[in-house]
Each structure stands twice: as C-alpha cells, then as structure tokens.
Amino acid sequence: MPAEEAGIRNSLVGAALGGIAITRYIWRMEPIASMPRETVVALHGPVVQGFLTGPLPEVPAVTPPPGA
C-alpha cells in the first residue's frame, strides 16, 4: 500500500466499523442489531477488506472555494 493512502484507508475502515457499532449497539437497528456476529462479519468483512487492500477510486483534487 502506498504510504500516501494509509490515512484515507484508515479513515474509511474507522468510519465503516464505527457505523456498524453505532447501528448495532446504540441505535439497535434491525436486522443488524440481532444478527449473529458471524453474519455481520461475513457481510461487512469484504467491505473493510476492500478499504484496506482494494483500489481507491480516482477523485478530483479538492480546491478551496474562493475567499477561503
């Protein structure tokens, strides 16, 4: 993994795992709240793995708005 991608990949994984935790344990949204842990891992594991090792999309450079 290129070093310049480490930060964005870390943020993507954190956002995904944080979202799962909030959905499952704080909001208790069904069906995720009552799913077996193994099912949650099976469904979300490929997403997290993709954030870690998959290609990142090309995104345009962000330029600050005028006057910023």
pLDDT tens track, the chain, 68 positions: 788 899 999 999 999 999 999 999 999 999 999 999 999 999 999 999 999 999 998 877 777 778 76
Measured CA distances, 66 to 9, 10, 39, 61, 63 (Å): 29, 30, 47, 15, 9
In a domain, 61, yes or no: no
Q: Number of structural domains, the chain?
A: 1
In a domain, 64, yes or no: no
Domain range for 35: 16-53
In a domain, 23, yes or no: yes
In a domain, 25, yes or no: yes
Is the overall model pTM greater than 0.85, yes or no? no
Q: Which two tokens stand for residue 50?
A: 């993709």
- Return the closest-CA partner of residue 12 out of 20, 37, 26, 28: 20
In a domain, 62, yes or no: no
Measured at the CA of 33, the angle between CA 29 and CA 35, to 5 degrees, comes to 135
Contact 56, 5 (CB under 8 A): yes
